[in-house]
Amino acid sequence: MTENPLLAPSSNPYGAPAFDKIKDADYKPAFEAAIASAKKEIEAIVNNPEAPTFENTIEALEYCGKDLGKVENIFFNLNEACTNPTMQTVAEEVSPMLTEYSMSVILNAELFGRIKAVWEQKDKLNLNTEQSKLLKETYESFARNGANLPDDKKAEFSKVSEELSLATLKFGKNVLAATNAFTLNLTDEADLAGLPEYVREMAAAEAKGRGEQGWTFTLNAPSYSPFLKFSEHRDLREKIWKAYNMRNINDEFDNTHEILNIVGLRIKSSQLLGYRTYAEAALVDKMAKTPETVNSFLDNLMGQSLGAARKEVEQIRRYAVANGFKGTFMPWDFSFWSEKYKDATYSLNEELLKPYFKLENVIAAIFDLANRLYGLQFKENTAIPVYHPDVKAFEVSDENGRFMALLYMDFFPRESKRGGAWMTEFRGQSIKDGIEERPFVSLVTNFTKPTETTPSLLTFDEVTTILHEFGHALHGMLAEGSYGSLTGTSVARDFVELPSQIMENWAYEPEYLKTFAKHYQTGEVIPQEYIDRIVAAKNFLAGYSQVRQLQFGQIDMAWHCGETVPSQDVVAYEQSVVSKSAVVPIVEGAAMGPQFTHIFSGGYSAGYYSYKWAEVLEADAFELFKEKGIFNKEVASSFRKNILSRGSIEDADVLYRNFRGRDPESDALLKKYGLK
């Protein structure tokens, strides 16, 4: 297997993955060999004749399965960003193998016996902070995942875990398939009324690429979102809205059964471990700790935001009526009329701003911000293989020339990539035997592709999106520590969004915007008048946006706080949850759940609240930057030292207090959005 490019030592700079050599046929053999190797490493730990110690048990386990981790990181990241039917089949074939391996480790009585022996003598071992945290995380992870179960329950837990891994895979596969299955092809130019030129160009390029006439629109965000905002044809807006919000419901790629299956399996696995609900089990190691805390947090914010949201929607509805709208104001009307209201009130719209946000300029500005705050430097290296021609690879170094990371950036949508934007890693940071491995970080988005006449121009929302994901990337690139399971973004789910969400704040700072927002044709710096409008419109629909996110969190908790699977069908159950906080009419047959990859296939189950939880942290944290200066080196250095570089070497609340000098002020988010 040393010839397999997934396992062979890389000859690329910094040992970068050999994307130019990896073939689909390499994946399954690599998984099989890596799992076999990892099992031998586990056997060596278990059969060690020496008494259990931190080094020969806890540390040895931490470094176990390095090859397997490498293969998993490459394969599953590409299965999200550059997949194909063969890879999807491989994913379904190897997931049971991975679950079996994972369970064979977690439920290994002899291994847990050694871990427990070290845990019981922890007070005598003179461990440093990082070692103590690794011991604690290792012991508690095994205990939370069934290590204390009797043998018959271990077998059942293992079976449920395997079924669950396959079900979540199928869920994500279905969402991608349903998204790709819909297109809206228009051949009459009159049907394009209201659509800006950039939207028409993009749709023409999409049609051309598909061998179709006219203009083709898809459910990918760069196509779907502007169509809803600008199309003057209400019937077409309704058609594409329903296609998007009724995906995976009673269609070829139906996910309603998968949701009930996943929820049932999660309940079963949690109850085997002694918890009443999945949410109880999932929140044990989070900042919030309990479902009661999360639900109280969501309800409290909802109570303080719902009135403002309803006023905002009514304001938009009245504006629409005053401008000729007749009938019931529906969700497919909201984006259209709110965009018109925003333009009329603030003289601000996407078409006005997009020329100032050329993708290349935005990326250069983000790199410059990282340099000003943290001394980082970025240099593209075309000698480093990438997994798709759209991808660019950058070497990242600090102010002293020390290599910090490789950064892969993948900007544009394609049928092989799921929607949304995310950061992930092909390799994390760690140190073993004095040799450090620096991270390989990947940042993926779905921005508008350049056309034959126009470069990729971002909406202002997309500017904040790339800043958000770059915050995650910084968390990975600035990691410092010995153990990969404790470094970078390996932190509590409700803490991980702090480094990302705080970065969005810079998009609203005139001092920063003026450094890069220049018209792609004339080179003109964005006028102060436009910046004033951006800042003035910052909290436009803040209540509505807040309520929408809180609803997603409540849907998540509703699915995961029960002791049994809900008896209602999926759509009816979800609509019963959101009906109390609905601000626009609920559409029969539409639901978020069947496409909600975050909670059913993406790791945020019983954790979607964490976006709002972390927003409280970032709102409070950014106040210090505002007080001292948005480019203040002292504050940035403290944020790097206490947050970005520390991973989860200490508990999240300790890290935050080390940075801020106190606990976060709970009203910070409401103040930020002008809701208090």
Binned at pLDDT 50, 70 and 90, residue 1 comes out as: low
What are the helix (H) ranges across 485-593?
A: 498-501, 510-513, 528-536, 542-560, 570-578
Mean pLDDT of 666-675: 87
Q: Which two tokens stand for residue 70?
A: 């490498």
**In the numeric block, which tokens belong to residue 95?**
């997931």
Q: Average pLDDT for residues 355-360, to the nearest whole number?
A: 97
Torsion sign over Cα 23, 27, 32, 37: positive
**Residue 435, helix vs strand vs coil:** strand
List residues with catalytic annotation. 469
Instruction: List pLDDT tens digits, range 205-234.
Output: 999 999 999 999 999 999 999 999 999 999
Based on the number of CB atoms within 10 Å of its own CB, is 47 exposed (0-12), middle (13-18) or buried (19 or more)? exposed
Q: Are 38 and 101 in contact (CB under 8 A)?
A: yes
Taking 3-state DSSP, the helix, strand and coil percentages for the chain, each rounded to the nearest 5, stand at 60, 5, 35
Name the H helices within 323-358. 331-346, 350-353
The whole-angstrom separation of Cα 630 and Cα 635 is 9
187 pLDDT more than 90: yes
Answer whether residue 538 shows pLDDT above 80.
yes
Task: Find, among 99, 206, 213, the residue nearest to 145 by Cα.
Answer: 99
In 3D, which of 415, 370, 412 has the Cα closest to residue 394?
370
pLDDT at site 451: 86
Task: Spell out the CATH class of 13-106+108-148.
Answer: mainly alpha
pTM over 0.85: yes
Q: Judge whether residue 254 has pLDDT over 90.
A: yes
The residue among 334, 332, 305 whose CA lies nearest residue 317 is 334
Catalogue the long-range contacts made by 392-399 (C-beta closer than 8 Å, 24 or more residues apart).
393/16, 395/13, 395/14, 396/477, 398/374, 399/375
Which of 603, 598, 593, 602 is closest to 566 using CA atoms?
593
Torsion angle in degrees (nearest 10) through CA of 637, 643, 648, 653: 130
Give the pLDDT confidence score for residue 549 in this predicted structure: 97
Please say whether the beta carbons of 440 and 432 come within 8 A: no
Instruction: Give the confidence band of 676 by pLDDT, cuts at 50, 70, 90.
Output: confident
Rounded-to-10 torsion of CA 406, 601, 611, 573? 170
Separation of alpha carbons 633 and 649, rounded Å: 24
Query: Strand, helix or coil at 62?
Result: helix
The predicted structure's pLDDT at residue 164 = 96
Q: How confident is the model at residue 586 (pLDDT cuts 50, 70, 90)?
A: very high
DSSP 3-state of 418: coil
Tell me what the mean pLDDT of segment 517-531 comes to.
Answer: 96
Q: Give the largest Cα separation in the chain, rounded.
A: 83
- Rg over alpha carbons for the chain, rounded to the nearest Å, is 25
* Mean pLDDT confidence for 553-580: 96
pLDDT per residue over 41-68, tens digit each?
Answer: 999 999 999 999 999 999 999 999 999 9
Residue 503 tokens read as 């970065």
Looking at residues 367-389, what average pLDDT do you find? 98
Q: For the chain, which residues make up each domain, given as ranges?
A: 13-106+108-148, 182-245, 355-541+611-672
Length of the chain: 676
Q: Mean pLDDT across the stretch 289-318?
A: 96
Cα–Cα distance measured from residue 464 to residue 451, given in angstroms and rounded to the nearest whole number? 23
What's the rounded Cα separation, in Å, for the pair 32 and 30?
A: 5
pLDDT tier for residue 522 given thresholds of 50, 70 and 90? very high
Residue 665 CA to chain centroid, in angstroms? 25
Tokens of 369: 């911000």
Residue 674 has pLDDT above 90, yes or no: no
Q: What is the pLDDT of residues 269-292, one digit of tens each?
A: 999 999 999 999 999 999 999 999
CATH number of 355-541+611-672: 1.10.1370.40
Torsion of CA 535, 536, 541, 546, to 10 degrees: 40
Burial 97-133 (b: 16+ CB within 10 A, else e): ebbbbbbebbbbeebbebbbebbeeeeeeebeebbbb
Q: From 458, 38, 470, select the one nearest 221 (Cα to Cα).
A: 458
Q: What is the pLDDT of residue 442?
A: 98
Mean predicted confidence (pLDDT) in 238-252: 97
Rounded CA gap, 258 and 164, in Å?
10
**286 three-class SS:** coil
pLDDT of residue 351: 87
Cβ atoms within 10 Å, residue 482: 19
Mean pLDDT calculated for residue range 648-672: 93
3-class secondary structure, 415: coil
Q: What percent of the chain has pLDDT over 90?
A: 94
Q: What is the mean pLDDT of residues 335-353?
A: 93
